[in-house]
Amino acid sequence: MLKLQEATLPHDFLSRRIENSIHQIGYPQLKKVRCESNGSTLTLKGELNSYYQMQLALKIAVKEPWIERVDNHIRIVPDCQDLNLVY
């Protein structure tokens, strides 16, 4: 009897593919996001200026069929110039 093996993708290929998709969204800040994969777990790292940008990156990551879990290690660091604070 033949036993089917589960297809796997190299970790670096998968993380590069997701990272490239995130970088192509159109927000320059998203180029700061880095991806690492280990099996079916993807880890997102970096610093972004808003939760919206983080949500965009997460949306791309969770759509990947090979990924079962996403660990989000993205830090939100608001850009003070964008806040128009007056002292």
Alpha carbon distance 59, 62 (integer Å): 6
Question: Tell me, what's the pLDDT at 28?
Answer: 94
CATH number of 11-80: 3.30.1340.30
Question: Tell me, what's the pLDDT at 47?
Answer: 96
Question: Tell me, what's the pLDDT at 5?
Answer: 47
Domain assignments of the chain as residue spans, ordered by start: 11-80
Whether residue 33 is predicted with pLDDT greater than 90 in this model: the reply is yes
The pairing of strands 41-48 and 34-38 is antiparallel
DSSP code per residue over 51-81: HHHHHHHHHHHHH-TT-SEEEEEEEE---GG
* Global pTM value: 0.77
Whether residue 10 is predicted with pLDDT greater than 80 in this model: the reply is no
